[in-house]
């Protein structure tokens, strides 16, 4: 099976982002990909809640998503929109990933579970949970001879999610992202390789890259990693592009046979917290 990671430099205009995506999907389809993953915040990359509110459309009859379904049917391929913001009733947004099948129908959706809330020395507190509501359910979906496990960006720092996905049958893990440059340089490759190794799964990571209209800069370097942790394909830059690789379920079986970590895992009691 051939898969494609689409690297983008999304801005604030959903129609312009969709127009930028169309030729990249066509390139992936022409190369024989039957599944294509796009980055986090593919259809709008906002910096503030006000920007979100001005352009984020309701999920039902979403105009750009409807067109993505048309493109999936036109190319006869699975198209996985890494994420887009969806307004919720409480005034916040879901960071939602959506998979379309080759017939253009929506197959599955996933709301990003883990949200980045942090107080960083010398910087203002960052509260992703003030704008987004975290999802509550891990998601898998059938994908030919594979089972696809869903995640989004910051999720990659939480191995328990990927362990749950693998134990539910996932053997191809999707990680759409919009990593900053400093954290990308420090953590991107090692975290993604670790998720592949510990689950014996393929990992496909489609990234945002470059300088965006919202003032942010992202790392790029989209990756496809095999179940042994080897990087089999990489866009070694931050520009838009298409990354392709062939994947084989037999390699998943071999990796899990050689290192049966999923089968050998055991429950255990956590230590009592230290006092004093």
Residues carrying an active site annotation: 40, 112, 153
- Distance, in Å, from the CA atom of 98 to the CA atom of 217, rounded to the nearest integer, reads 24
User: Hey, what are 114's tokens?
Assistant: 């883990």
Please, which contacts does 219-222 make with residues 24 or more away whose CB atoms are closer than 8 Å? 219/179, 219/180, 219/181, 219/183, 219/184, 219/185, 219/188, 220/7, 220/184, 221/184, 221/188, 221/189, 222/5, 222/6, 222/7, 222/39
User: Considering only CA atoms, which of 129, 263, 112, 140 is closest in space to residue 199?
Assistant: 263
Distance of CA 112 to the CA centre of its chain: 9
> Are the C-beta atoms of 76 and 47 separated by less than 8 Å?
no
Give me the residue label for tokens 């198209």. 79
Strands (E), 123-262: 126-127, 140-143, 146-149, 172-174, 202-205, 209-211, 217-219, 223-225, 231-234, 241-246
Beta bridge partners of 210: 218
Q: Hey, which residues does 93 pair with through a beta bridge?
A: 87, 132
């Amino acid at each position: 099976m051939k898969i494609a990671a689409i690297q983008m430099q999304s801005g604030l205009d959903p129609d312009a982002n969709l127009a930028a995506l169309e030729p990249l999907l066509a390139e992936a389809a022409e190369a024989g990909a039957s599944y294509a993953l796009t980055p986090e915040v593919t259809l709008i990359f906002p910096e503030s809640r006000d920007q979100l509110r001005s352009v984020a459309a309701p999920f039902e009859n979403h105009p750009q998503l409807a067109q993505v379904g048309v493109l999936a049917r036109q190319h006869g391929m699975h198209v996985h929109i890494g994420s887009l913001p969806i307004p919720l009733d409480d005034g916040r947004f879901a960071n939602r990933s959506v998979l379309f099948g080759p017939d253009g129908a929506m197959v599955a959706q996933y709301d990003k579970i883990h949200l980045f809330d942090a107080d960083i020395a010398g910087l203002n507190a960052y509260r992703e949970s003030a704008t987004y509501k975290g999802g509550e359910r891990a998601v898998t979906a059938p994908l030919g001879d594979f089972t696809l496990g869903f995640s989004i960006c910051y999720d990659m720092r939480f191995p328990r999610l990927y362990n749950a996905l693998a134990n539910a049958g996932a053997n191809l893990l999707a990680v759409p992202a919009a990593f900053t440059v400093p954290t990308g340089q420090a953590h991107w490759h090692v975290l993604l390789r670790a998720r592949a190794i510990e689950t014996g799964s393929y990992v496909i990571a489609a990234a945002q890259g470059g300088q965006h209209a919202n003032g942010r800069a992202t790392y790029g370097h989209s990756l496809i990693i095999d179940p042994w942790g080897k990087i089999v394909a990489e866009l070694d830059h931050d520009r838009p592009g298409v990354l392709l690789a062939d994947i084989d379920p037999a390699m998943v079986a071999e990796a899990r046979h050689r290192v049966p970590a999923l089968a050998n895992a055991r429950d255990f009691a956590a230590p009592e917290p230290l006092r004093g």
